[in-house]
Amino acid sequence: MSIQGHPLINGIQTDAAINPGNSGGALTNASGQLIGINSAIASTTRASIGIGFAIPVNRVKDVVNQIVKTGHVIYAGLGIKNDTRDGILADPQAHSELEQIAGANPPTKGVLIVSVDPNSAAGSAGLKQYDVLLAVDGQVVQDTLSLNQVLADKKPGDKVTLKFWSHGNVKNADVVLQELHS
């Protein structure tokens, strides 16, 4: 799921009123314990009518600790750019085009890679443009959100196993995640 085009990772659904400009408020349980920070709303009216989401407190603690320790948040990544359109591989036209490019029938689920940094973890593992990432450490990835969820708790230097489709063949590769730079 995404909110206004931005993937939401493990958001807590809430009925708290979240209007433009008032996100950042505490989401508490009945005992007054902080369980999240209200952060986004999926709404067709751009007002508090819709579904609200909060960032879980464990994710908030991790981000705050990283900012205090390093001055910024560190994310681990593969060094790829992927197609962020949900269900793109199931789209008949896109599927047909990829089949022509790859010379083989591609999967209908996974993360379509549109570019690979040759000096990255993915580049070192041999992933290429138009490959389809299928799983990370055995966890199936079907879209950008599921990929982000798998990588969210990983750190640069962590070793992961990738399963991917490349020109008709399913392959596995071990890679060491790198620090993402914005």
Which tokens hold the place of 63? Answer: 């981000």
Which tokens hold the place of 161? Answer: 């196993």
Q: How far apart are CA 129 and CA 116, in angstroms?
A: 6
The pLDDT, as a whole number, for residue 137 is 95
Q: Domain ranges in the chain?
A: 2-70, 76-179
> What pairs with residue 117 in β-bridges?
none
Which tokens hold the place of 8? Answer: 């939401």
Exposure string over 46-66, b if 16+ CB within 10 A, otherwise e: eeeebebbbbbbebbeeeeee
Q: How far apart are CA 121 and CA 38, in angstroms?
A: 34
Domain 76-179 sits in CATH at 2.30.42.10
3-class SS of residue 99: helix
Q: How far apart are CA 84 and CA 94, in angstroms?
A: 13
The pLDDT, as a whole number, for residue 38 is 87
Q: pTM of the full predicted structure?
A: 0.76
CATH of the structural domain 2-70, one choice from 3.40.50.970, 2.40.50.100, 3.40.50.10890, 2.40.10.10? 2.40.10.10
31's CB contacts (< 8 A; 6+ apart) are none
3-class SS of residue 160: strand
The pLDDT, as a whole number, for residue 145 is 82
pLDDT, averaged per 10 consecutive residues of the chain (182 residues), comes to 51 78 83 90 72 87 91 89 84 89 89 93 93 95 87 91 94 93 64
